[in-house]
Structure 1
């Protein structure tokens, strides 16, 4: 499996995936910590991947999304954005709507 196939598999198999520096319990940068705080504040259940665990993953996620920075948040297979976008969406209420829609879809079947 290539790194692109792995990433695609992860973002499509999980409702919410965060590619970050470090882990949710020990973020390795302020931007990753900010996204974790937002997701935790909203009570979101998500899967995370530490890009420091693999140079292949660190480079592969940037190529996959065509986005140069980490963290990267995916919801239902779609790239949402990095820290600035996630923060803006949270402040406007758009992120809550996106995640609550995900919550209804996940529990409707």
Structure 2
């Protein structure tokens, strides 16, 4: 049995933090871990893809309150998986969608809000 620390956030507080991050930043990546230490391969890949096109973007580590953030993000995007990327408050997708946009040479424009 693994130890799961009790979250310090309610779902409502996580929802408020999601709203604040989306309102205050053009590009937001909700991820497991942070820029220096991504905690899953998908989060690392999303971070690398975004970093290849924009310097300034917000990251939010969802691990301290994963169930609460997962619920809050699902109510915004309809997706329950993480990472999730938003541009100008609109859900773009996870690392798989970012990779597809990169392959089509559309990621830079999407992150710039041109899509």
TM-score clears 0.5: yes
Report the equivalent of 1:107: none
Distance 2:112 2:65 in 1: 32
The question of 1:27 aligning with 2:38 is answered yes
TM-score, normalised via structure 2 length: 0.78
Per-residue CA deviations over 1:22-53 (Å, capped at 9, x if unaligned) read 11111111100001111112233111111102
Report the equivalent of 1:66: 78
Structure 2 SS opposite 1:22? coil
TM-score, normalised via structure 1 length: 0.82
Structure number with the higher strand fraction is 1
Structure 2 SS opposite 1:26? coil
Structure number with the higher helix fraction is 1
The question of 1:96 aligning with 2:108 is answered yes
TM-aligned CA deviation for residue 6 of structure 1: 2.5
Please tell me the root mean square deviation across aligned C-alpha atoms, in Å.
1.8
Unaligned runs of 5+ in 2: 1-11
